Structure 1
Amino acid sequence: MQANDPTKLEATLADGRRMTLSLPPSEAKWAADGIKGLHPVPPTHTGRGEEPPALPAEPTLPLQVALLGLGA
């Protein structure tokens, strides 16, 4: 990618991954400035957060399995 490419914006995430955003040409007035109208925003939080609660430990009934296959 060119260093001064006006159609692409590149950022490096906290974990080292690189992300590239490119905007196609558009006649939309809100996008008239292309990527010049965008600016980086600092993250509001990092990490994964709390783990979800565990599923109840009950045996699956054969009817429930059959209904899952039907999309019910």
Structure 2
Amino acid sequence: MRANEPTTIEVSLTDGRRMSLSLPPTDAPWAADGIGALSIVPPTHTGRGQEPPALPERPPLPIETALLGLGA
């Protein structure tokens, strides 16, 4: 990890990808240290986990279709 400027940090991931994080300037007291207050946290999970169950293969009933349209 390396800091290019006080508000930007760049990280090289283990697979070679690079990621950068920029923080906008602010006068908020909790952000006074900028990126200096950030620390590396190791991942707690790797991979995707279990796949969700497949949807049923029956056609939807008209009322189900109508109810889905109410949320739009």
TM-score tier, shorter chain, comes to 0.7 to 0.9
Partner in structure 2 of residue 49 of structure 1: 49
Query: After TM superposition, what 4+ stretches of structure 1 lie above 6 angstroms from structure 2?
Result: none
Report the identity percentage: 70
CA distance in 2: counterparts of 1:19 and 1:29, whole angstroms: 26
RMSD: 2.3
Unaligned runs of at least 5 residues, structure 1: none
- More displaced stretch, 49-58 vs 11-20: 11-20
Distance across 1 between alignment mates of 2:26 and 2:70: 44
Output the CA distance in 1 between the equivalents of 2:14 and 2:56.
35
Q: TM-score, normalised by structure 1?
A: 0.72
